[in-house]
Amino acid sequence: MRVNVTVNGTPMIADDVWPGESLLYVLRERLGLPGSKNACEQGECGSCTVYLDDVPVCACLVAAGQAEGREVLTVEGLASAEGGLDPVQAAFVECGAVQCGFCTPGLIVQAHSLLAQHDGVPADVEIREHLAGNLCRCTGYEKILDAVRLAASRKAGS
């Protein structure tokens, strides 16, 4: 089947989509956007997190057909067109919140959604709650929390 979906602002068409296929598969294998990662395919790790109509979801649990006519924003769409990093991305780099990097795209999108709904710097419990569905096997999370606090404080200060 064919799926029409707007990804990172660009209307796209995926053809020959199998009805049981996930949005994650379509993004990675059919639309050339491998930023969202595939680690578990069961909603446990969050590495596939994308925005679907402004709501962060696990792309591995969205059927491709459910994205028909809707808007998806992936980690590739967060940086500016000129390549300037989103403040959350910049903070991850600066804080050393990236090791192997596999969890990073999902964490960036999910952290981005926390700051989008928050004016000040979220309390640590809020950050932990918000990122509870994103697993990282490398960093031990401390530097990820540092990065979210840094991005949030810059946003609050600006």
Partner 1 sequence: MDFLRATTWTEALRMKADRPDATPLQGGTDVMVEINLDKGRPKALLDLTPVTELTEWSIHDDTVRIGAGVTYTRIIAELADRLPGLAQASRTVGSPQIRNRGTVAGNLGAASPAGDSHPPLLATGATVEAESVDGTRMIPIGDFYTGVKRNALAANELIRAIHVPVKTGPQYFSKIGTRNAMVIAVCSFGLALNVAERTVGTGIGSAAPTPRRAFEAETFLAENLDWSFENELDPVVTKRFGELVAAAAAPIDDVRGSRDYRVHALAVMARRTLGWAWQERVNGGNS
Ligand X SMILES: Cc1cc2nc3c(=O)[nH]c(=O)nc-3n(C[C@H](O)[C@H](O)[C@H](O)COP(=O)(O)OP(=O)(O)OC[C@H]3O[C@@H](n4cnc5c(N)ncnc54)[C@H](O)[C@@H]3O)c2cc1C
Is residue 53 a contact point for ligand X (CB under 6 A)?
A: no
- Closest among 29, 35, 31, 36 to 60, alpha carbons compared: 36
The single residue among 9, 11, 34, 43 that binds ligand X, judged by CB under 6 A, is: 43
- Closest among 17, 67, 11, 22 to 48, alpha carbons compared: 22
| Contact map string, positions 82 to 121, toward partner 1, x by CB under 8 A | ----------------------------x-----------
The DSSP output letter for 27 is I
Cβ atoms of 33 and 72 closer than 8 Å = no
* Residue number, 57 or 145, with CB nearest to partner 1: 57
Identify residue 43 by its one-letter amino acid code: G
84 contacts: CB under 8 Å, gap ≥ 6: none
* Residue number, 12 or 61, with CB nearest to ligand X: 61
Q: Which does 129 bind (CB under 5 to 8 A by kind): ligand FES, ligand X, partner 1, none?
A: partner 1
Is residue 132 a contact point for ligand X (CB under 6 A)?
A: no
The DSSP output letter for 30 is I
The single residue among 19, 20, 32, 42 that binds ligand X, judged by CB under 6 A, is: 42
- Count Cβ atoms below 10 Å from residue 81 Cβ, excluding itself: 8
Q: Which does 101 bind (CB under 5 to 8 A by kind): ligand X, ligand FES, partner 1, none?
A: ligand FES
Is residue 84 a contact point for ligand X (CB under 6 A)?
A: no
Alpha-helical regions (H) of 84-140: 87-95, 104-116, 124-130
Q: Could you list the residues that contact ligand X (CB under 6 A)?
A: 42-44
Q: Could you list the residues that contact partner 1 (CB under 8 A)?
A: 1, 18-20, 22, 41-44, 46, 49, 55-58, 60-63, 65-66, 68, 110, 129-130, 132-134
